[in-house]
Amino acid sequence: MVLIYKRIKAHHQWHREAAAALEQQRSARDGVISAQRAGPQSAGAAGAGSAASVGGPEPYARAGWAGAFAGAGPDGQAAKVISRAPAQVVEEGVSRTAVIEVRGLRKSYGSVEAVAGIDLEVYAGEVFAFLGPNGAGKTTTVEILEGFRQRTAGDVSVLGADPAKAGRGWRARIGVVLQEAEPEAELTAGECLSMYAGYYARPRPVAETLELVGLSNHRATRCGRMSGGQRRRLDVALALIGDPELIFLDEPTTGFDPAARQSAWGVIAGLRDLGKTIFLTTHYMEEAEELADRIAVLAAGRIVAQGTPATLGGRDTEASVISFTLPPGVPVTDLPPAVADRVTRTAGGHLEAEATSPGPLLAELGSWAEAHHLDLPDLQVHRHTLEDVYLQLTRESR
Ligand code: ATP
């Protein structure tokens, strides 16, 4: 529902607020394409020329064009860049630079309080995952951090500036991959990237950017002919072409097959290795576990937990779970009493026992199985998965 709403919203804004600017963008694009067809050197010159003339509106960018991030502020005017050095935060004796600082952030849409007072920091060079159920307020928060939405209350600093007031220079330091992007169907991947490279003072080379996202072999493929996964990679490439310091990835692997997702994770990990800061929203817990240095969980507009994937929600200190299946015909009552008293049966027919210190229970179970010449081939000891913790944390908001 929210997804459908977003699609309508993007189109609505795009048509209503950005029609005039779209024309301007199209003229710039046509200039770039003609120049590209005339040869690579003139394409570069046309790109650079269009950078000076384009004041890209944010609804256009929200409809999927990273290039417009080199454009003007929310009101369509080139806003003043606020220059304040990002804060240095000392935690546990380690000094870290806070790239994003949020204090008491609130956003209401009429009577709906989408963001109800959140505090967070994101540090330079980390992957920060922002998790939460549908409608929790993630996109609203991200749009405020990107400078696309005005907040109702609170203090926000992103790369040392207030996103509501920051301008062209600040936008060029940020890359965005939206939930739904619509690259121009008739352009090739290379043309598309060249066009947007022209909006930035120091773009990343097109060939290097294509390579980074695994699209080197698709430079000449028209965007309209790309598979969903390839288009998503192109979205990432568009966000990277300006060589941003901070990248917002809004559900970047939704709709990917497992192989494409693995490869996208490789790309994202590679960006962190390049020293980029990444703000990631995702509904895939394994994605957060694989990529995130830190996680915040949002539910009904409030942050209900923050931590590393290993510590979120006290995951590192909670009881372990021993799980196994008994061989056919062996009843639970045959187990040694210390085990039988603690086991519960799961919906899948496994037996589970929780223990803060699982060693003695495991030893008892092992000795019993050996004494009775029984095998327990699916015996496992594990802590709750990130998904278990997440579901528990967000249960009350549903
Ligand atoms: P999802 O995971 O589905 O993308 P989300 O966490 O990004 O959800 P938001 O899109 O930020 O959630 O929405 C938070 C709440 O604000 C929801 O109740 C949504 O219906 C409402 N909302 C979002 N944008 C608007 C808007 N422009 N006008 C009115 N209500 C809105």
- Residue predicted with more confidence, 220 or 183: 220
The percent of residues above 90 in pLDDT, for the chain, comes to 47
Q: What is the mean pLDDT of the chain?
A: 78
Same-domain status, 145 and 175:
yes
Let me know if residue 160 belongs to a domain: yes
| Res. 9 pLDDT band, cuts 50 70 90 | very low
Same-domain status, 194 and 228:
yes
Same-domain status, 219 and 120:
yes
132 lines ligand 1 (CB under 6 A): yes
Cα 116 to ligand 1 centre (Å): 13
Cα 156 to ligand 1 centre (Å): 19
User: What number does the ligand 1 atom closest to the CA of 250 have?
Assistant: 4
| Res. 365 pLDDT band, cuts 50 70 90 | very high
* CA-closest residue to ligand 1 atom 1: 134
Q: Is the pLDDT of residue 200 over 80?
A: yes
Let me know if residue 72 belongs to a domain: no
Let me know if residue 396 belongs to a domain: no
Let me know if residue 9 belongs to a domain: yes
390's CB contacts (< 8 A; 6+ apart) are: 131, 285, 297, 312, 313
Q: Is the pLDDT of residue 374 over 50?
A: yes
Let me know if residue 79 belongs to a domain: no
Tell me what pLDDT residue 260 has.
Answer: 80
| Res. 251 pLDDT band, cuts 50 70 90 | confident
In the chain the first and final C-alpha atoms are separated, in Å, by 15
Let me know if residue 170 belongs to a domain: yes
* CA-closest residue to ligand 1 atom 23: 140
Tell me what pLDDT residue 21 has.
Answer: 39
Q: Is the pLDDT of residue 8 over 60?
A: no
Tell me what pLDDT residue 138 has.
Answer: 94
User: What number does the ligand 1 atom closest to the CA of 107 have?
Assistant: 16
Same-domain status, 278 and 324:
no
Q: Is the pLDDT of residue 144 over 70?
A: yes
Which range has highest mean pLDDT (212-216, 232-236, 294-298)? 294-298
Let me know if residue 388 belongs to a domain: no
| Res. 67 pLDDT band, cuts 50 70 90 | very low
Same-domain status, 212 and 101:
yes
Q: Is the pLDDT of residue 303 over 90?
A: yes
- Rounded-to-integer distance, Cα 362 and Cα 378, Å: 13
CATH code for the domain of 308: 3.40.50.300
Same-domain status, 155 and 197:
yes
User: What number does the ligand 1 atom closest to the CA of 137 have?
Assistant: 11
Ranges 59-68, 177-186, 360-369: which has the least confidence: 59-68
107 lines ligand 1 (CB under 6 A): no
* CA-closest residue to ligand 1 atom 19: 135
- Rounded-to-integer distance, Cα 177 and Cα 69, Å: 11
Same-domain status, 330 and 306:
no
- Rg, C-alpha atoms of the chain: 25
Q: Which domain does 352 fall in, by range?
A: 319-382
User: Which among 191, 210, 254, 262 is positioned nearest to 228, based on CA atoms?
Assistant: 254
Tell me what pLDDT residue 350 has.
Answer: 87
Cα 298 to ligand 1 centre (Å): 12
- Rounded-to-integer distance, Cα 266 and Cα 256, Å: 14
- Rounded-to-integer distance, Cα 62 and Cα 181, Å: 8
The percent of residues above 70 in pLDDT, for the chain, comes to 74
Let me know if residue 82 belongs to a domain: no
Q: Is the pLDDT of residue 290 over 50?
A: yes
User: What number does the ligand 1 atom closest to the CA of 136 have?
Assistant: 6
Same-domain status, 264 and 117:
yes
| Res. 84 pLDDT band, cuts 50 70 90 | low
Q: What angle is formed at CA 48 by the lines to CA 43 and CA 54, rounded to 5 degrees? A: 115
Same-domain status, 204 and 298:
yes
- How many structural domains does the chain have? 3
Same-domain status, 230 and 349:
no
* CA-closest residue to ligand 1 atom 30: 109
Same-domain status, 133 and 13:
no
Q: Yes or no: say if 368 and 314 are a contact pair by the CB < 8 Å rule.
A: no
User: What number does the ligand 1 atom closest to the CA of 2 have?
Assistant: 3
User: Which among 171, 394, 126 is positioned nearest to 280, based on CA atoms?
Assistant: 126
Q: Is the pLDDT of residue 42 over 80?
A: no
* CA-closest residue to ligand 1 atom 29: 109
**What's 156's DSSP letter?**
E
| Res. 88 pLDDT band, cuts 50 70 90 | low
- Rounded-to-integer distance, Cα 2 and Cα 12, Å: 15
8 lines ligand 1 (CB under 6 A): no
Q: What is the mean pLDDT of residues 87-105?
A: 81
* CA-closest residue to ligand 1 atom 2: 134
Same-domain status, 240 and 286:
yes
Sign of CA dihedral 348, 353, 358, 359: negative
Q: Is the pLDDT of residue 372 over 60?
A: yes
Q: Is the pLDDT of residue 34 over 70?
A: no
User: Which among 179, 186, 262 is positioned nearest to 226, based on CA atoms?
Assistant: 186
Ranges 52-56, 157-161, 162-166, 298-302: which has the least confidence: 52-56
Cα 135 to ligand 1 centre (Å): 5
